[in-house]
Structure 1
Amino acid sequence: MNWTLEPYDVTHAAAVAALWNQEFGRQLPLSAALLALRWQPADGEPTVARIARWRDRLLGALLVRFPTSPWYPARSAFVTLLVVDRAMRGRGIGRALLDEAIRIARSHGYRSLVFGGGPGHLVPGIPADAPLETWRFLRRPGALPREIFHDLLVDLALPLPTVPPRADLRLEPAPREAMLAFLTQEFPGEWESDVSDAYDAGATVLGLYHAETLVGFAAIHSPGQWPPPPSLFWAESLPGPVAGLGPLGIAQAYRRRGWGLAMVIGALERLRAAGARWTIIDWTDLASFYGRAGAHLWRTYQVAELPLT
């Protein structure tokens, strides 16, 4: 079988999503629409976008982005997706796709390939329920396991923990301009962009106010929001209306007072009142903190990094 490597374009999205769903469709069901939405590199951003094809059959795909935003690690490229048809594994297709990424990354002066995260990410790392062969495949060229992250789930049919009310705190929707100014000061970088996107998508961004001072924020996402935030990528795998929570944070000077937990519980109460059955908190290593608000582990991922030097 003489398969070839060819450029990827949006017309291949449905076939690539079908390959993804061979492995992860039950836990992480990927639609062609979501893949097309996430694979929209910025103008001037280098990418590797390849498919492996035999005649009219798509055998594998690779999508890699070389981010230009300053909040990503310098000289690290991010693998958004690497899939091979189950029936065609063991024929060198995956390694040929990976070698193409390595060759182009090195030609641009990049020092590592990171599997998970990055701009337009689908998952923050390798899913924990990926087959053992996934890690064998990555370890052969020298990739190393790194951080572990989780998606958490809150069952809103169950009672939420309570916190003592405080008359000097209030949680309410925040005006966009004031919120973005707050983020510029307290959380500059990626969260500024994420929250701006949340406003554009129609999400509600709550502000936590101490007296009249904005001291925290929490973005909440209604069931069915489109474009979806990462917390809603896999909502179809749950029965009933699914909401999302995050990003969120408390200003540095006001931490360790219990206000963050109070804000999380207040946000969850709003989502339950709006009709959500579940809430997903994506990509976090703060499972113990969110556990105090009733969240439990739902999905787990581990980042892998392949040094190129």
Structure 2
Amino acid sequence: MLRAWRPSDETALLELWRRRWGERFPLDKALWEQQTAGDPRHFRADLARAFEEGGRVVGAVSLKTPPSPPAWSNQNPRNAWISFLLVEEGREEDVGRALLEYAQGALRAEGFARVQYGGDPSHFFPGVPVEDTALAELLQASGFEAAGLEQDFIRDLADYALPTAAREALEASGFRIGPCRPEQVAALLGFLEAAFPGRWLYETEQRLKVEPSPADVLVLEGEGQVWGFAHVYHRGSRRIGPGIYWREALGAAYGGLGPIGVSGALRGRGLGFALLGYGVQHLKELGVGRMVIDWTTLADFYGKAGFVPWRGYRPHSRGL
């Protein structure tokens, strides 16, 4: 029986998640609530559905849609998301298909033109986990097309030392890298509005609302301006960032970094790599022992700092 989610379903849904994805994607209650009800502008509680069989939840689907007006400047108002489609192993053809057909029909009825699996605001996954071939096959049989490969990268920091190239690039520039100070917040947001006016600006604004200080956003500064930024996450962060979603798999001294970016006017001078290098060094100094860079295709860039692939995802989408 397909029915609306109930608040009392939370425990059953978390247990179902652990059975399906828990080994590689260990979800806890804090992340669950942050990414669902904790994002009321996008999460559609009215459209979320569970599939119950014999009094037991055997499947669920979570949908997100852009608000009106859109949350950021280039957010497509006609693009919606399936945040996740979760079913018991082996139930893709009946339970999974019913949930997927419901999701597409509900979004189509509301006038959305396209649906994407994952990659949603407050996402769980950038796409379909590469190991979940059954889910990928279900989506593709329903008309979804796969595109490319996104990856999370990981590094143990025990042997990390600031790369010489990062130090030399920063020294040559005359700029500085450090935690954002309260008096720099306006300059940081102004930089993001000019250089990255979409999702990264929005996510930075949302994070600054919940953190006690802006210090977990590092800034590249010089000449009285902010020229680059990087989010860092660790045990003390109030916001659970993508790099630390699966922190149970990272150990107690976990950390993460991203997004990260520099002004287009400075590219080609090694300052993006400097920001990465000093960001990793900053996390090591905070006691992080193992960390993740999330959702990227830049294997060579992060590889120069010793990061290796950890988790992989294939984006899927289709027109409605």
More helix by share: 2
Distance 1:116 1:248 in 2: 21
Aligned partners of 2:42 and 2:66 also within 8 Å: no
SS at match of 1:129: coil
Find the residue that maps to 1:67 and give its secondary structure.
coil
Q: Residues 60-83 of structure 1: CA distance to partner in whole angstroms, max 9, x if unpaired? A: 101111113343334221011111
What is the CA deviation profile of residues 159-204 of structure 1, one whole-angstrom value per residue up to 9, with x for unaligned ones? 3332225061211222322211211121112111211233323461
Q: Which aligned pairs between 1:152-167 and structure 2 lie closer than 5 A?
A: 152-160=153-161, 161-163=163-165, 164=168, 166=171
The answer for the alignment partner of 2:177 in structure 1 is: 171
Contact 2:42 2:64 in 1 (8 A): no
Match of 1:201 in 2: 211
Alignment counterpart, residue 73 of structure 1, candidates 72, 76, 79: 76
**C-alpha deviation, 1:117, in angstroms:** 0.8
- C-alpha distance in structure 2 between counterparts of 1:90 and 1:44, whole Å: 26
Detail structure 1 runs of 4+ shifted over 6 Å in the superposition: none
The Cα shift of 1:44 comes to 8.5
Identify if the C-alpha distance between structure 1 residues 74 and 189 changes in structure 2 by more than 3 Å, giving closer, same or farther.
Answer: same
Structure with greater strand percent: 1
Matched, 1:188 2:191: no
Equivalent-residue separation in structure 2 for 1:72 and 1:283 (angstroms) = 18
Question: What CA distance in whole angstroms lies between the structure 2 residues aligned with 1:239 and 1:32?
Answer: 18
Instruction: Report the AA paired with residue 56 of structure 2.
Output: R
Question: 1:91 Cα shift?
Answer: 6.1
Q: Is the 8 A contact 1:184 1:192 kept in 2?
A: yes
Aligned-partner SS, 1:214: strand
How far apart are the structure 2 equivalents of 1:52 and 1:272? 44
Who is 1:85 aligned against?
88
Check conservation: 2:154, 2:291, Cα contact below 8 A.
Answer: yes
Between the aligned partners of 1:6 and 1:33, the Cα distance in structure 2 is: 24
1:52 aligned residue? 51
Supply the distance in 2 between the matched residues of 1:276 and 1:118 (Cα, whole angstroms): 28
- Report the AA paired with residue 306 of structure 1: R
Aligned to 1:247: 259
Alpha-carbon offset, residue 156 of structure 1: 0.6
Percent of aligned positions with the same letter in both sequences?
A: 31
Change over 3 Å in CA distance of 1:12–1:32 after alignment to 2: farther
Letter in 2 for 1:201: E
Q: Deviations over 1:183-241 (max 9, x none)?
A: 11211121112112333234611111234332111111122523311111101112241
> May I ask how many residue pairs the two structures share in their alignment?
303
Computed over aligned residues only, the root mean square deviation of the Cα atoms, in angstroms, reads 2.0
Counterpart of 1:42?
Answer: 40
Q: Which amino acid aligns with 2:308?
A: H
1:45 positional shift:
6.9
- For the residues of structure 1 that align with 2:200 and 2:187, how far apart are their CA atoms? 15
> Aligned pair 1:100/2:102, yes or no?
yes
Partner amino acid, structure 2, of 1:228: I
Q: Is the 8 A contact 1:80 1:116 kept in 2?
A: yes
CA shift for structure 1 position 304? 0.7
TM-score, length-scaled by structure 1: 0.91
- Taking a change above 3 Å as real, the CA distance of residues 224 and 236 of structure 1, as seen in their structure-2 partners, is farther
Corresponding position: 1:286 with 2:298: yes
Query: Contact conserved, 2:150 with 2:313, CA < 8 A, in 1?
Result: yes
Residue pair 1:143, 1:304 contacting (<8 A) in 2 also: yes
Deviation for aligned residue 1:263:
1.1
| Cα-to-partner distance string for 1:72-115 (whole Å, 9 max, x where unaligned) | 3342210111111226x166111111111111111111122211
Instruction: Please give the secondary structure, in 2, of the residue aligned with 1:147.
Output: coil
Which of 230, 253, 258 pairs up with 1:218? 230
Query: Structure 2: where are the runs of 5+ without partners?
Result: none
